[in-house]
Amino acid sequence: MASPSRRLQTKPVITCFKSVLLIYTFIFWITGVILLAVGIWGKVSLENYFSLLNEKATNVPFVLIATGTVIILLGTFGCFATCRASAWMLKLYAMFLTLVFLVELVAAIVGFVFRHEGCFIKVMTIIESEMGVVAGISFGVACFQLIGIFLAYCLSRAITNNQYEIV
């Protein structure tokens, strides 16, 4: 068991980790709300346009709605895990964030590999002309995910190592 002086030194660190992770989780949650809203808007307002493209494009709003819902649920779970300071919940949250990161990575690779296929040639031409911006945004999103994984793991480890108790 840690000495009282050591506990006093680690409590501010744990509080700082919790605060930063809560801010991160809130931003993550907001992105889920945005994806959900865009998916619903696309389904309600843009359904006619999607049906003109091809039958696979009509699934885009459903993918956005599902992704937004999953991110909202994961963000809510991350908030509970952080507030409760539960080491196992934080580790599970870090694993969920890792899965989201890997899915994003696979989607980016698939998008890059199949960038010349489909009926979105004009869109792809614009994206390719702005590849620096697209790459920068993709890198930023990936780094954001890695920061969340790192914060959740560090807080979990600090709680486990210092036997932190919620007062």
Which candidate, 133, 110, 112, 107, places its Cα nearest to that of 124? 112
More confident residue, 127 or 88: 88
Question: What pLDDT sits at residue 167?
Answer: 47
Per-chain mean pLDDT for the chain: 79
Which of 39-43, 70-74, 155-159, 163-167 has the highest average model confidence (pLDDT)? Answer: 70-74
Summarised one tens digit per residue, pLDDT across range 109-158 is: 766 666 666 655 665 666 566 666 666 777 777 788 889 999 999 888 88
Taking every pair of C-alpha atoms in the chain, what is the biggest distance, in angstroms? 68
Cβ neighbours of residue 89 closer than 8 Å, sequence gap 6 or more: 77, 80, 81
User: What pLDDT is stored for residue 50 in this prediction?
Assistant: 62
Q: What is the pTM of this model?
A: 0.73
